[in-house]
Amino acid sequence: MRYDSLKEFIARLDAEGELVRVREKVSPILEIAEIADRVSKLPEGGRALLFENVEGSRFPVLINAFGSRRRTNLGLGDVERIARDIERYLKLPPPTGWVDKMKLLPMLFEAAHFPPRLTRGRAPCQEVVLTGDKVDLGLLPILQCWPNDAGRFITFPIVINRSADGRLRNVGLYRMQVYDRNTTGMHWHIHKDGAHFFHDFKRQNKTMEVAVAIGADPAVCYAASAPLPYGIDEFLLAGFIRKAAVPLVKCLTVDLEVPANAEFVLEGTIDPGEMRTEGPFGDHTGYYSQDGDYPVFRVRAITHRKDAVYHTTLVGKPPQEDLYLGRATERIFLPLMRTQLPEIADMHMPAEGVFHNLLIISLKKRYPMQARRLMSALWGLGQMSFVKTIVVVDETVDVQDVRAVASRVLSGISLKRDLFFSEGVLDVLNHASDHALHGSKLGVDATTKIEGEPGHGEPLRSASQDVPEAGRVAAHFSQLTGCRYIEVDASSTPVLFVALDKTRPHQGREFLEAFFAEPEFDSIAICIVIDQPVDLDDTSLLMWKFLNNLDPRRDILLHGERLGIDVSRKMPEEGYTQNWPEEIEMDAGVRARVEARWNKIYPSDSSS
């Protein structure tokens, strides 16, 4: 699947009935985000949105372009095919003779087209050039996504820079808070390649040149988000996906190359001695990420197409557009993971885990404790090192079927034997641990126990058929505002979620201890404490909140073969040193304004 520009992709979406053109006048301050949030939560991710009448800017806004499996496949091609192509190259046997070498020629010819190529002269992205006093980020319809965001943020910037020695290029997606007409923040997470390059410049006291492309062909957009190994050029991956080189053009004011067919390009520099507070920002976790000091990007030039489209995305409580890009990454990078861990059968990161909170892996099991070895290996492997919870099941379990996985976990494990705790690095957006950037991790070994392994030959735990009604638990403990069982199937242990009106430190753990001490509730094997506000009827949001707020070693309380988990908000008196963030919620006035115009914005025949 090859597109030479974002506009070609837009035309394809339009032709396939996957695009809604919004002609109603809308504001980039919160309104577009509210509309996109509603659409992303429609079945199959709704449709892509092209806002053609945006307050304060002449440029249209494209959002939710990759927000479904179908649109992701339309943009990149069949992601399963991409994975098979990668595997084909990885498993290429060395030629042993002249005939084998001849057989390789078609693949070598194809591979010769993958590396990016430099074009001469002015490119489409440089049809309009703004420098000096004409540089004004206010010309772009940059969004404020959520009410408590620190301002407007560029959320789909393709950020390009080079290492201090000039040998390596990095292309990544790093949000950019707009401070004024020509300066932004550069939100480089401490673990990301962009931050590594920045710290090299800082050690040498050298100014870093940076270019930012906004709106590129789908392969380039995806490659910028991909978790490639250090030193691998993202434009090379884009060329592999396109089966054609990405055309690049030299910037006009910095010594970097950018996609020639981009919609907008920002050129500028970062002084490693200049830092500024960035954030808060409503992030993909569904919570506001905390503010902090980050580098400042000073824009020297803005170039763009005459008829440019501003491409952006929204992140927040799942599902959002990033879910589908993440699913593409699952499939595309599975063959690469298998080169290091060939026992992996399949993998899945459910939406509720927001990528780094839950990984489900199926295992081709051959020897005792192999599941624990696999978990330990994954926690030392690139961006997998940030994953907080890993569940390992047999290869016979379909990891894409979360219900089947839950059934296996809730019927096939020993709560005392099969939970495995570790410590390590965590994503900077993880707010649950007592300290930033590191904390505890949980492994769940739900594989069938084999000879030589603890638990081999023991019967599976049978679910209690005589659990008390949830209302009896709520009536017994006045501090609870509600209770609900989640039951997967008849053979699985039901899980009791309780909503706690938390007003003081340690209240969640004290409740669990009192709960375990009450004989009336002995048949309830798993109880999870979650604090207000929470909708107990929404299973997806319950699991999202549970996975976000869990610090495994701190929050899990084992009582024999019973399990209590306290994922209520933690306080400083409980040893918590971070700032517990607010959940993202849209302003009620914005919701009302959008609701009043909804049929004009997103007609009923577009609701897919």
**How far is Cα of residue 143 from the mean position of the Cα atoms in its chain?**
19
- What 3-state class would DSSP assign to 568? coil
Question: What element of type H or E holds 289?
Answer: strand 288-289
- Nearby residues of 390 by Cβ (< 8 Å), 6 or more positions away: 358, 359, 360, 361, 375, 378, 379, 441, 442, 443, 444
Q: What is the 3-state secondary structure (H, E, C) of 350-410?
A: CHHHCCCCCEEEEECCCCCCHHHHHHHHHCCCHHHHHCCEEEEEECCCCCCCHHHHHHHHH
CB-based contact 518:510 (threshold 8 Å): no
Bridge-based pairing state of the strands 48-51 and 562-566: unpaired
Residue in the structure block whose two tokens are 């050690």: 203
Q: Give yes or no for a contact between 203 and 197, defined as CB atoms under 8 angstroms apart.
A: no
* Cβ-proximal residues to 517 (8 Å cutoff; 6+ apart), any chain: none
- Other CB atoms within 10 A of residue 403 CB: 11
* Residue given tokens 């199959």 in the structure block: 44
Helix (H, G, I), strand (E, B) or coil at 201: helix
Contact 48, 42 (CB under 8 A): no
Residue 204 pairs in a beta bridge with: none
Phi-psi category of residue 205: left, alpha or beta, with phi > 0 → left and psi -120 to 50 → alpha: left
Q: How many CA atoms lie within 13 A of 181 on its CB side?
A: 8
Q: How far apart are CA 445 and CA 337, in angstroms?
A: 19
Q: Are 515 and 523 in contact (CB under 8 A)?
A: no
Handedness of CA 556, 558, 563, 566 (dihedral sign): negative
Type and span of the H or E element at 277 = strand 264-278
- Write down the catalytic residue from 233, 283, 445, 566: 283
Active site residue 283: yes
The amino acid present at 136, given as its one-letter code, is: D
Cα dihedral sign for 186, 188, 194, 199?
positive
Helix axes 31-40, 588-596, angle to 10 degrees: 70
Residue 553 is encoded by which pair of tokens? 């070693």
Up-side HSE of residue 482: CA atoms within 13 Å toward CB? Answer: 12
Q: What is the DSSP letter of 583?
A: B
- Which residues participate in catalysis according to the annotation? 283
